[in-house]
Structure 1
Amino acid sequence: MLITDQVLAIDAAEAGAAIVRSHYGSSLTRIDKTGGDFATSADLDAEKAIVDILRAARPDDVVLGEESGRTGPAGNGRMWLVDPLCGTLNFAVRNMLVSVNVALRAGARVAVAASADPFTEELFWTDGDAAYVRSGGSDERLVPSAGSGLVDVNLDPPFPNRDVFLAARMLADDGFIERFRPRVVSTTLAVAWVAAGRRAAYVTDGDLSDSVHFAAGIAICQAAGCVVTGIDGQPLHTGAGGLVVAADEETHAALLALIRNQRAGV
């Protein structure tokens, strides 16, 4: 029987999460990359497990992995985006705030996606129409909420728009301080938390087109009904780029106003 894309995404993400869990607390081989970034043996082993599952089921699809790069034939318009361990630095210092992300872009649209938390064993997923969290074998529909007032802000470089937007400056804005409370989780698990109502919003700079880190979380948020744009309010992957994901229009508008405050001061 042919496995569906959604089931495949879930199976692959859960397989990667199991590998990440198995490596936790062990002695990790470190593989240095550019700009001070690095991977570990957990990243590599989790990615291999995920890619092996995708390759076996979809040999004609492209797979873009954070560690192994782009592999497979081109031409059918389908590409799997694989982030085997989002939050490597967290994991390397035995912090459990990490995620495993798998998404399928079919044409211009991310059709299905899964983001797994290896330690709570929750799995956030979307079939492209709605978004859910799976825990203990049961699925619950995701419902965004801005009630917490918590906003996750990515403070990691690069900062391509630093002349007109810098997350650290936004955190010092009196308007932000009066309305929101910042959080810095340093993993895109926090993007899925917006869809789940555990965060009011998430903000980051950068070019996120075909990002293995963000594709799954963005798709989950869109399917859950979050407001999703670039940092300038433009459609995603246009204009200045970046990402503002908010639980509702009011929160989104407030964050865009704070971002515009920075532009006004340039």
Structure 2
Amino acid sequence: MTITNGESDGRLAAAAAQAGAAVVRDLYGRRLDRYEKSAGDFATEADLAAERAVLDVLRAARPEDAVTAEESGRTGAACARRHWLVDPLCGTLNYAVQTMLVGVNVALRVDTDVTAGATADPFAGEVFWTDGERAWVHRDGDDTELTPAAGSALVDVNLDPPFPNAPGFRAARLLADPGFTERFRPRVISSTLAVAWVAAGRRAAYVTDGHLEDSVHFAAGIALCRAAGCTVTGLYGEPLHTGAGGLIAAADAETHAALLKLVENQTSPAS
């Protein structure tokens, strides 16, 4: 997917994510140096190289915009209204042990709203992208509009820390709730690629704890879900990025309501 300055921010996000995905794919399976970060977290040369590829695309097309990237931090004017959020390889641990469940996330925040975003799957050759109004998957040169669907009953639950709402909410406890297992089937892939799958109808929902505002990991997936028509709120049904935080992104209102009740059960006297 090529891009020029005159094209949309959504297509630019897709092109940047696609550039990062090409690097991730090319370096897969190689012996890569690790760069320790904190609390067992690390980056590989693939993270760094993919980030450089993403930033090259963004800076060529939008040189005045600010950027926050996972590995290199923030660059650009502090007062910039337009601010890109870049996660060059979501699922680094998966990737390091040669598991192909990773994504490349690129999103644009203008003032307080995320107005464009993309998540690329390097190994499926897909880029899920949105211009903030509609959402598509780009595959084999074609764009197909995303349609959420809950029929799979598959729900991804993020088990990675931190857990700011514990002990009131614990993701692992949600999986053990009989009400959950009666209706849903859990999945844990440790990559926010799964958030894009909700928008695409491949997952019924995604649930995570955490403070996600301006998150390089989650901004693109949330934008995709919203543009596709999913029901998206904080962990307790509040508007996103308010209150307790967290995320329930569901294919439809019925699935969202069922998950919201299960989350609320954790804080009830009987739980």
> What TM-score bracket applies, with the shorter chain setting the length?
over 0.9
Distance 1:99 1:243 in 2: 19
Matches within 5 A, 1:206-225: 206-225=210-229
Structure 2 counterpart of 1:37: 41
Distance 1:65 1:190 in 2: 20
After TM superposition, the score normalised by the length of structure 2 is 0.96
Asked if the contact 1:202–1:244 (Cα under 8 Å) also holds between the matched residues in 2, the reply is: yes
Given the alignment of the two structures, is residue 253 of structure 1 paired with residue 257 of structure 2, yes or no? yes
Structure 1: which amino acid aligns with 2:54?
I
Asked if the contact 1:61–1:74 (Cα under 8 Å) also holds between the matched residues in 2, the reply is: no
Structure 2 counterpart of 1:23: 27
Structure 2: which amino acid aligns with 1:107?
D
Distance 1:230 1:89 in 2: 27
Structure 2: which amino acid aligns with 1:3?
G
Given the alignment of the two structures, is residue 81 of structure 1 paired with residue 120 of structure 2, yes or no? no
Structure 2 counterpart of 1:114: 118
Deviations 1:203-241 (A, max 9, x none): 000000000000000000000000000001000000100
Deviations 1:232-263 (A, max 9, x none): 10000001000000001110000010001101
Distance 2:184 2:56 in 1: 42
Report the Cα offset of residue 52 of structure 1. Answer: 1.7
User: Among 93, 96, 111, which residue is 2:100 paired with?
Assistant: 96
Given the alignment of the two structures, is residue 2 of structure 1 paired with residue 8 of structure 2, yes or no? no
Asked if the contact 1:195–1:224 (Cα under 8 Å) also holds between the matched residues in 2, the reply is: yes
Structure 2 counterpart of 1:126: 130
Asked if the contact 1:81–1:104 (Cα under 8 Å) also holds between the matched residues in 2, the reply is: yes
Structure 2 counterpart of 1:178: 182
Distance 1:238 1:159 in 2: 16
Distance 1:68 1:14 in 2: 19
User: Among 192, 199, 208, which residue is 1:195 paired with?
Assistant: 199
Distance 2:104 2:266 in 1: 33
Report the Cα offset of residue 90 of structure 1. Answer: 0.3
Report the Cα offset of residue 10 of structure 1. Answer: 1.4
User: Among 202, 205, 208, which residue is 1:204 paired with?
Assistant: 208
Given the alignment of the two structures, is residue 48 of structure 1 paired with residue 52 of structure 2, yes or no? yes
Query: Which secondary structure does the structure 1 equivalent of 2:243 belong to?
Result: coil
Cα-Cα RMSD? 1.0
Give the gaps of 5 or more residues in structure 1. none
After TM superposition, the score normalised by the length of structure 1 is 0.98
Give the fraction of aligned pairs with identical amino acids, expressed as a percent.
67
Report the Cα offset of residue 95 of structure 1. Answer: 0.2
Structure 2 counterpart of 1:167: 171
Distance 2:66 2:80 in 1: 8
Query: Which secondary structure does the structure 1 equivalent of 2:16 belong to?
Result: helix
Count of equivalent residues: 266
Distance 1:6 1:256 in 2: 31
Query: Which secondary structure does the structure 2 equivalent of 1:16 belong to?
Result: helix
Structure 1 counterpart of 2:15: 11
Moved over 3 A (4+): none
Report the Cα offset of residue 7 of structure 1. Answer: 2.3
Report the Cα offset of residue 106 of structure 1. Answer: 0.6
Given the alignment of the two structures, is residue 154 of structure 1 paired with residue 153 of structure 2, yes or no? no
Query: Which secondary structure does the structure 2 equivalent of 1:264 belong to?
Result: coil
Distance 1:43 1:94 in 2: 14
